[in-house]
Structure 1
């Protein structure tokens, strides 16, 4: 029987982001994740509590690598080794990794899902007595599943953009949307910001849309937009992977300073850009998702989740007005 609860890890995990220095971290995402695994393994080995398999869609994007790193670090505090793996957005590879986790005898699996392709493998894990936490897309088999209402968080992206246009452009501006058909989560976010813009900024003129699914495509998006609609100054994106790339292109092109892009995930570089008055004017934060996933897994291991529990997590809009709550230079 599924039990639905609504929890917010935002306050604690946002504080963790600031305290840990994530907002000012350096180095590549992948190297950060690798170093985390080593330190987590060393701490956990001494305590001997066992291993948690951490499975991310990719470790090539900062958001997923930092999330995995953060989760491993929190688990290490409790004496567990974090074994971080990525599946390169390939369902078959995800299933293979889960099967390997089962063979290795992990105590738990924390799986950032993009679809339900791994359901059967997760059932096998649960049948083997392994605790399963999923995050992202609700699937059939889990002890606890953490999701965001992605249409609601997409609406928050649109709300920030609409407010910016209404305040700075008199309610009328050309806008561009980054879209995706890669997963339901992404489609829901896009639907959310479409709805918000239609309701809150009816004077906006959507002049360009294109799908972005891989790292680097935000750069292409911004370059194409500049060629086709050089007077378009507003971009909405379902992910901060692309707002960072857009900001870099606009910096290189010396775009007008009132140009603005809005995204989701509150990545470290994005928070820094907002704090420094850059082109990124808004993002949605769920705090530190790695900490949230770790706390959920710890709860599973401690018996706090009994009945196939679905946890709906809240997001918060981050703009120049409240950036001080999320970033410390």
Structure 2
């Protein structure tokens, strides 16, 4: 028997079988899951460096583990840059990931990249922020979020409670915003609606972008210099809220100017425990959002029915005791 010829024929047969197997994998949605080990490859894009997104990262990892799935995450931080986000989505498409999770940088500028992912049969799940409604209906399979109008409304209710309890008539309010994303516009609209519904005759004396935890301090200090009689800040994000708190401290206005914030981090929880400046922070847990997003992606990849809207609970923190409890239940500081 010609053993060399036999081995050549066996090797050729093996290559043919392997080629057929690879062709089958390429036909799957995204094509990234390993047929042999059932590992899913999922792209995850975080909007910026705020603590909330550390919570999302932890949530998606925990959610995959709890679902009994082996997942390889391919991750980046978009740094609130639509061009960086788009370039990474192109990389994910080339890598044939099975799904993409993202907090979109822009309602409109992020849409073309998600269209490309959809055209490549890669399911997209938004969390926290997403693209405009018309494009989302076409290119996005699910959206995990806490309703931003309700979120802002709850903050406004907490502010109204404070103004009424402390007899603050006609409060002058400054806003540190993150309104480059639509959800933050919605948050402010909810905040103002709550004040109006409660009959608070407020005035917004400044509304400036300041969501980076460091840069927002200088923005808030400049607002206080121009408007030293401000009664309160509304921070539309966690970075905005802690920036406002630190600016009030730096200006020696603790006990005079207060802050109503968004999101919860260890810094904000400690500020709430002190309760001199920060009077409330409204939060959607990053961990809960991450778990909801990965659960939706897994359901889609498993061929299960998945609703587009995936609601995530909104939590209200207004007392030092609640700040202490948050710190005790989040010993690693991840929200």
TM-score past 0.5 threshold: yes
RMSD across aligned C-alpha pairs, in angstroms? 2.9
Native 8 Å contact 1:247 1:278 kept in 2: no
Q: Name the residue aligned to 2:258.
A: 260
> Displacement of 1:94 after TM fit?
1.6
Moved over 6 A (4+): none
Q: 2-side partners of 1:312 and 1:155: how far apart? A: 16
Q: 1-side partners of 2:278 and 2:190: how far apart? A: 19
Task: Report whether the alignment pairs 1:72 with 2:61.
Answer: yes
Q: Name the residue aligned to 1:151.
A: 149
Q: Tell me the alpha carbon deviations over residues 13-46 of structure 1, each in whole angstroms, 9 at most, x when there is no partner.
A: xxxxxxxxxxxxxxxxxxxxxxxxxxxxxxx9xx
Q: Name the residue aligned to 1:274.
A: 272
Q: Name the residue aligned to 1:26.
A: none
> Displacement of 1:304 after TM fit?
3.2
> Displacement of 1:215 after TM fit?
4.5
Q: Name the residue aligned to 1:286.
A: 284
Pair 1:269–1:70, CA change in 2 (3 A): farther
Pair 1:240–1:82, CA change in 2 (3 A): same
Pair 1:162–1:188, CA change in 2 (3 A): same
SS in 2 for 1:263: strand
The correspondence for 1:189, drawn from 187, 190, 208, is 187
Q: 2-side partners of 1:97 and 1:229: how far apart? A: 42
Q: 2-side partners of 1:149 and 1:209: how far apart? A: 22
> Displacement of 1:110 after TM fit?
0.5
Q: Name the residue aligned to 1:226.
A: 224
> Displacement of 1:147 after TM fit?
3.3
Native 8 Å contact 1:182 1:213 kept in 2: no
Q: Name the residue aligned to 1:62.
A: 51
SS in 2 for 1:178: strand
Give the number of the structure whose alpha-carbon radius of gyration is greater. 2
Task: Report whether the alignment pairs 1:236 with 2:225.
Answer: no
Q: Name the residue aligned to 1:304.
A: 304
SS in 1 for 2:328: coil
The correspondence for 2:42, drawn from 35, 46, 52, is 52
SS in 1 for 2:220: helix
The correspondence for 1:110, drawn from 86, 101, 116, is 101
Pair 1:271–1:293, CA change in 2 (3 A): farther
Q: 2-side partners of 1:123 and 1:179: how far apart? A: 28
Q: 2-side partners of 1:256 and 1:94: how far apart? A: 39
Q: 2-side partners of 1:180 and 1:80: how far apart? A: 32
The correspondence for 1:86, drawn from 67, 71, 77, is 77
Q: Which segments of 5 or more consecutive residues in structure 1 lack a partner in the other structure?
A: 1-43
Q: 1-side partners of 2:225 and 2:240: how far apart? A: 18
Q: 1-side partners of 2:120 and 2:203: how far apart? A: 54
Superposition TM-score, scaled by structure 1 size: 0.75
189-198 vs 293-302, which moves further? 293-302
> Displacement of 1:265 after TM fit?
2.0
Pair 1:304–1:284, CA change in 2 (3 A): farther
Q: Name the residue aligned to 1:34.
A: none
Relative contact order higher in (CA < 8 Å, ≥ 6 apart): 1
The correspondence for 2:206, drawn from 205, 208, 212, is 208
Superposition TM-score, scaled by structure 2 size: 0.73
